[in-house]
Structure 1
Amino acid sequence: MRDASFSQCTSTRILLLLISPVFMESCGAKILEKTLEQWMRYKEECLKKMANDPYPSGLFCNRTFDMYACWPDGSPGAIVNVSCPFYLPWYEKVQHGQVSRRCGLDGHWVLLNGTELWRDHSQCREEMETSTEEEGVHQLMVSLKVLYTVGYTLSLLALVFALLIFTVFRKLRCTRNYIHANLFASFGLRALSVIVKDALLEKMWGKELFEVSDWEALLSHEAAIGCRVAQVVMQYCILANHYWFLVEAVYLYKLLIGAVFSEKNYYTRYLYLGWGTPVAFVVPWMTVKYLKENAECWGVNENMAYWWIIRIPILLASLINLMIFMQILKVILAKLRASQKGYADYKLRLAKATLTLIPLFGIHEVVFIFATDEQTTGILRYIKVFFTLFLNSFQGFLVAVLYCFANKEVKFEMKKKWQLWKLDHPSLCCSQ
């Protein structure tokens, strides 16, 4: 049903929807849902016209709607021309063009290769002046999607394994590791929600549409519910992830700088801060999207003011983390100066402490904190998207490695378990 231009634009648009909601101008201002609504209106007008027009006498090709254009009855051996369909996103450019079909001498529309209906819609195709640029954007989006899908999948597997370790080994159960486990869980849920949301978007908007039922199903309210739920869950998981960064920062700050405190009492408050705070922002955002921008999978932000409902708490958490990060570095710097053994050793330990804290507090988020999506254009925008997707998708894996697999306490417990297992299974160990 769709020509190459429509398929390319739709395919690129799907990838842009998956990656970033602010890249929508790449395929024009019209969103796919509006195009589908226009197509449905075109189809209804066509069916009414076919029902009302009188039938000619003698042999003729039957009037039809072939999912692309509305065709009147055709005389045998004649070429039938109709105007380009008005639902095409680029209709203003091709409104004077025509699409053609040939009526055979036997009163049947001419087929291509004996199976497909022949149709010449070359005049209705979008001008391909920027085809090279669009192809480049499409390939870039494909590469970015592969990149972050691999990153989130690898992170999810590592985080699940890390959570199992913290669950199985009882001696690892303490407030610090409980907080780490919640951070791992937020990373895992974030990765899972992104993967599920992408799958639903691909299923909803990525399929080829040839039957009327496909288009009607795509426009139905039920089709978007699952996709919108996945979008809401994903936004909640992203916010929860950022606020567990904040919990990690607050806990370490109180541990190093604060007075003596009861860990058990504060852990309950950490749970509220990490898992409860995002609800206070996601619910208003969800309400606004439903009332004001209830289109597609809620991935398009036509009014960026609504997007600030989600962005402000993220920026706030990132700024607080940055301030706590600087304070903790001062404390670490002072302690290292007081107990330094050598200048080289002092610098190495400081660098190690700094690099360890960066992924734990999500400090990398501050790099592009003021380079908002609306302000970045051209190559800067693609650089920002690349680094954001790369860091966000692989950060879960990095955190799992640093705070679980490379942790001396964890390695000691795993080594001890391994030694005990070998003592309990001497026959298996000795046979090797």
Structure 2
Amino acid sequence: MKDVFLSQYNTRLIHILWMSLISMKNCGAQVLEKTFEEWLRYKEECLKKMASDPYSSGLFCNRTFDMYACWPDGSPGSIVNVSCPSYLPWFEKVKHGLASRRCGPDGQWVMLNGTEPWRDLSQCEMEAVAEEEGAHRLMVSFQVLYTVGYSLSLLALILALLILTLFRKLRCTRNYIHANLFASFGLRAISVIVKDVLVEKLWGRQVFQVSDWEVLLSNKAAIGCRVAQVLMQYCILANHYWFLVEAVYLYKLLIGAVFSEKNYYTLYLYLGWGTPVAFVVPWMAAKYLKENVECWALNENMNYWWIIRIPILLASMINLLIFMQILKVILAKLRANQKGYADYKLRLAKATLTLIPLFGIHEVVFIFATDEQTTGVLRYVKVFFTLFLNSFQGFLVAVLYCFANKEVKSEMKKKWQLWKLDHPALCCSQ
């Protein structure tokens, strides 16, 4: 089998597998492994058919399987037509098309430049391949968009974490919660970037032999990107539950409940970092036992997908309910004109009220619109908004909870003034 892939016809198969890879990475409709298995099945059926059919008499072009299609015996001087191969990822679009080869008057298949066979595959490939390549280019643009978003978010979150942890006067339960939220977003950004690098490394290699494809499709080759996928799903859940912690904390702060912050902070840690484990572990077990394919990014059985999505939807719905309650409390206190109402509470409420709809609405709107269930323009609109919002959320959180925070700006201004007093020579030289 290995020698066959080294033949002069291997480039056509590699092209087909590569186009199925593009389809798999961007549309979720076809899986490379399935295409390869379908090709093997097609090849076996072709070889059986060639062995069982009676041979033609006299001069004729020999039946053959040229790594692309199964060709019967051809009459000299004729064009032989066969249906487009059934293993093509886009077969449904070209199932009525034909592939053609020319049998020469000498009983030999006509060759181009004496090395490659003459074939007309336009009905089987051109439009479908062009469509897949167009989708590929669009998805590459989306990837650039969210890579920029996650990179910008990661830099902003790291800086925000440093500010909240290095300045002692900023150390309090409220900012500890902010710091955990920043950490969850930062880990999410890292996991997405690492996953993309591993996927590119896995699928971006050049493959020319069957052993290469076997390695590419093996479970061992995908372990790294599966680990990154699990981490990403965990961080997505942690994002939502740490934001739920933000909403719960603010609600308790606004209604003036008396409680021990230290005791509740421990509960917040369990809710923010512990709750995602309760859902990611069952999802990981289901994927390993039932859908142990590639990087665990595809959802063949939607029941496993709901293990992750239900807790996200639940957190989003609770956040929206708290959003309405917080809004009611703020309006009531403002109408009562309470002068003792702390300014920092209003600022925290403003930041949280800005983020809650952003976190909740797009999750609720797109909760049933999965990659597997949407097609065409709707799918690309959904993918664009999801990737854009998800990738830039970390940056927005860092701005609202840190860089635009009055306490943070005041503390940084004090530190800057103290630094100038401690280094008068440097300041004067400027």
Structural mapping, 1:267-306, within 5 Å:
267-306=265-304
**Count of residues in Structure 1 that have an aligned counterpart in Structure 2:** 402
1:419 and 1:117, CA in 2 relative to 1: closer, same or farther beyond 3 A? farther
Residue 13 in 1 paired to residue 24 in 2? Answer: yes
Equivalent pair of 1:99/1:123 in contact (CA under 8 Å): no
Residue 373 in 1 paired to residue 373 in 2? Answer: no
How many Å apart are 1:136 and its aligned residue? 5.0
State the distance in 2 between where 1:370 and 1:407 align.
30
Point out the more displaced range, 188-197 or 234-243.
188-197
1:102 and 1:111, CA in 2 relative to 1: closer, same or farther beyond 3 A? farther
State the distance in 2 between where 1:64 and 1:161 align.
64
How many Å apart are 1:382 and its aligned residue? 3.3
Residue 229 in 1 paired to residue 227 in 2? Answer: yes
The corresponding residue for 1:55 is none
- The residue identity in structure 2 corresponding to 1:320 is I
Equivalent pair of 1:318/1:363 in contact (CA under 8 Å): no
CA deviations 1:211-269 (Å, max 9, x no partner) are: 33321211112112112211111111100110001110111111111521010111111
CA deviations 1:182-212 (Å, max 9, x no partner) are: 0000011111111222222222234443233
1:353 and 1:243, CA in 2 relative to 1: closer, same or farther beyond 3 A? closer
The corresponding residue for 1:383 is 381
How many Å apart are 1:147 and its aligned residue? 1.6
The corresponding residue for 1:21 is none
1:129 and 1:89, CA in 2 relative to 1: closer, same or farther beyond 3 A? closer
Residue 88 in 1 paired to residue 88 in 2? Answer: yes
**Structure 1-normalised TM-score?**
0.77
The corresponding residue for 1:38 is 38
Residue 125 in 1 paired to residue 124 in 2? Answer: yes
The corresponding residue for 2:402 is 404
- The residue identity in structure 1 corresponding to 2:127 is M
State the distance in 2 between where 1:282 and 1:45 align.
42
The corresponding residue for 1:174 is 172
CA deviations 1:140-181 (Å, max 9, x no partner) are: 323322221111111011101111111211221111111000
State the distance in 2 between where 1:427 and 1:64 align.
86
Equivalent pair of 1:37/1:219 in contact (CA under 8 Å): no
The corresponding residue for 2:159 is 161
The corresponding residue for 1:323 is 321
- The residue identity in structure 1 corresponding to 2:239 is N
State the distance in 1 between where 2:208 and 2:34 align.
18
Equivalent pair of 1:86/1:95 in contact (CA under 8 Å): no
1:118 and 1:172, CA in 2 relative to 1: closer, same or farther beyond 3 A? farther
1:143 and 1:164, CA in 2 relative to 1: closer, same or farther beyond 3 A? same
1:146 and 1:12, CA in 2 relative to 1: closer, same or farther beyond 3 A? farther
How many Å apart are 1:425 and its aligned residue? 2.0
Q: Structure 1: where are the runs of 5+ without partners?
A: 17-23, 51-62, 73-77, 342-348
1:350 and 1:236, CA in 2 relative to 1: closer, same or farther beyond 3 A? closer
Equivalent pair of 2:81/2:99 in contact (CA under 8 Å): yes
Equivalent pair of 1:204/1:218 in contact (CA under 8 Å): yes
1:352 and 1:425, CA in 2 relative to 1: closer, same or farther beyond 3 A? closer
- The residue identity in structure 1 corresponding to 2:369 is D
Instruction: Give 3-state SS (helix, strand or coil) of 1:88's partner.
Output: coil
The corresponding residue for 1:357 is 352
The corresponding residue for 2:53 is none
CA deviations 1:53-101 (Å, max 9, x no partner) are: xxxxxxxxxx9998657999xxxxx999998666433457569855759
1:2 and 1:298, CA in 2 relative to 1: closer, same or farther beyond 3 A? farther
The corresponding residue for 2:5 is none
State the distance in 1 between where 2:91 and 2:396 align.
49
Instruction: Give 3-state SS (helix, strand or coil) of 1:369's partner.
Output: helix
Equivalent pair of 2:219/2:293 in contact (CA under 8 Å): no
1:137 and 1:233, CA in 2 relative to 1: closer, same or farther beyond 3 A? same
1:377 and 1:79, CA in 2 relative to 1: closer, same or farther beyond 3 A? closer
Equivalent pair of 2:316/2:359 in contact (CA under 8 Å): no
1:359 and 1:13, CA in 2 relative to 1: closer, same or farther beyond 3 A? farther
Point out the more displaced range, 204-213 or 247-256.
204-213
How many Å apart are 1:356 and its aligned residue? 2.2
- The residue identity in structure 2 corresponding to 1:167 is T
The corresponding residue for 2:330 is 332
The corresponding residue for 2:186 is 188
1:360 and 1:129, CA in 2 relative to 1: closer, same or farther beyond 3 A? closer
Equivalent pair of 2:22/2:133 in contact (CA under 8 Å): no
RMSD over aligned CA atoms reads: 4.2
